[in-house]
Amino acid sequence: MVMKKPVSKLLALGISMVLANSAFAKGDSKEPTLTDKELKDATQIYFDRCAGCHGMLRKGALGPSLEPKKTKAMGTAALEHLIFNGTPGGMPGWGKSGELTKEQTALMAKYIQMTPPPPPEKSMADMKKSWKVLVPVDKRPKKPEGGRNWKNYFGVILRDVGQIAIVDGDKKEIVSIVPSGFATHILRTSKSGRYMYVIGRDGKASMIDLWMKKPQNVAEIRPCNDARSIDTSKFKGYEDKLAVVGCYWPPSIVVLDGPTLEPLKIVSTASYTYDTGEFTREARVASIVASHHAPEWVINVKETGQVWLYNYEDVKNPTISMIDAERYLHDGGWDLSKRYFLVAANARNKVAVVDTVERKLAAMVETGANKPHPGRGVNIDHKKYGPIWGTGHIGANAIVFIGTDPKGHPENAWKIVKTTKLPGNGGGNLFIKSHPNSKYIFADRPVNPDRKLQTQIYVLDKDSLEVVKTLPMPKEFHGDFDIGGGKKVKLRGPVHFEFNADGSEVWTSVWGHKEVPSAILVYDSNTLKLKNVIKDDRLKTPTGKFNVTNTMDDIY
């Protein structure tokens, strides 16, 4: 079972190791039975921990299929082992990490051998029942309050406690803690930067007004039961007017009024796979970016392998251009010119390049490594190769750099110009990031099973594109932390990078357990000196961080 970006095959290596051990019984054709309470508990755990990668219907995507025919053949004991211990290619060990008990692990091993219950649908009427305007538009500030540099605020996801910390990037202090949905995935700003839009794994969307002295939610809605993506309208003339949510379940696109989050339009993404023409109900929206060249959103439909250019000029009657790409689409980002969008197709180890001006697929690049996972990726204007974009990988220790300038550097366009190996074995990289004002690129590795590799930051020189330094997690965050009841857990390690507004600092989170306060580490982005350790008892499971200026301007 997988939540945080695992490999796509139930990690064949891990499975073969388990099944080779004669201590594990083979499965049989009988379906396990659970009590009503066990079924309810297991359904919730599956949604929280597994559905993102294996799908609500368990047909697989980034993670493998968990349909009963397959899981029953493996048997309960083998499944328990995998769920508890994880696998070498990046699947977390839910038991080892303390996030699932042995009893819960056993429960889930039984549950995934059962026929999946039908997930709930959601109508416009259902959405409107959850819609709340908490602060009317005319009651909101007319100008920024509090005298702070709000354009250097960071929105920090406190993932497992369902909150967002708004942190003053100048003063290194928390301005406010704002409630959010379960396991918030990303934050995006409006074009002006004033509003920060939030989407949680439970499909709850909310918007935070950063002009308030103490920023808080001003509107919220739950347009999906499960979601990963949100963005706003950024094209000239549409600034701050609309927001869009991409749903995992029900698979759909929901357009919202920007200032109030009133739901305006639903479009289903259930469709046919681009290559085999097979209908898939679970065609989920993996990621969304706002075009800089047209009133459009670039929407990536995971299971069908299509990139949709969704024109929002006429909200009630949108036009959609469907571009065949590859499966399964995941995260991606703009090149330096912001003309080309590059998105990972995890299952095929490729990066699809979409030209948003010519409105077509520009290239398909094989990365040569297992499971590209760029986040937004990293952009560099390299002195030898010209503009390039880079991605890391979950299942391999490779950072791959691709040329992105077909006009100025045609010899490098849509080709791999450099593959850099991270130290040690295995993958585990989730995010890579840089800034025009830094000499370095920063990469994490929080899902590598090796404790040393998991707790280091990898620093690459922009000129050589090689790892020149590793920064260990400070000693105070190593060791076992008591969470009560005789249980102890370890903090996973640094995850996700974000720069401050001028690029002089890079921030990373110490990712841990929801019962253990951790911290944000602030490094000088050029000297690599640890400048600050932001601590607060409210900083529990900090993960993604989004600086207002960099998010407004798509700087990465």
Of 81, 185, 247, 330, the active-site residue reads: 330
- Decide if 81 is catalytic: no
Q: Which residues make beta-bridge pairs with 287?
A: 300
* Residue 126 neighbours by CB under 8 Å, 6+ apart: none
Single out the catalytic residue among 81, 373, 393, 513.
373
Q: Residue 4 and residue 52: Cα distance in Å, rounded?
A: 8
- Positive or negative, the CA dihedral 470, 471, 475, 476 is negative
Q: Which residues pair with 206 in a beta bridge?
A: 198, 220
Catalytic residue from among 53, 56, 127, 247: 53
Question: Within 13 Å, how many C-alpha atoms sit on residue 39's CB side?
Answer: 10
Sheet holding 195-200, edge to edge: 132-133, 216-221, 205-209, 195-200, 184-189
Q: What is the 3-state secondary structure (H, E, C) of 433-495?
A: ECCCCCCEEEECCCCCCCHHHHCEEEEEECCCCCEEEEEECCHHHCCCEEEECCEEECCCEEE
Query: Which one is catalytic: 54, 382, 393, 496?
Result: 54
Residue 390, Ramachandran bin (φ over 0: left; ψ between -120 and 50: alpha; else beta): beta
Q: How many whole angstroms separate alpha carbon 504 and alpha carbon 526?
A: 7
Q: Any catalytic annotation for residue 91?
A: yes
Does residue 53 have an active-site annotation? Answer: yes
C-alpha neighbours within 13 Å on the C-beta side of residue 37: 1
d(CA 14, CA 310): 40
For 258-300, give the secondary structure using H, E and C: CCCCCEEEEEECCEECCCCCCEECCCCEEEEEECCCCCEEEEE
Which ranges in 340-445 belong to alpha helices (H)? none
Single-letter residue type at 4: K
Out of 91, 196, 207, 224, pick the active-site residue: 91
In the residue annotation, 382 being an active-site residue is answered as no
Q: Would you name the residues annotated as active-site residues?
A: 50, 53-54, 91, 330, 373
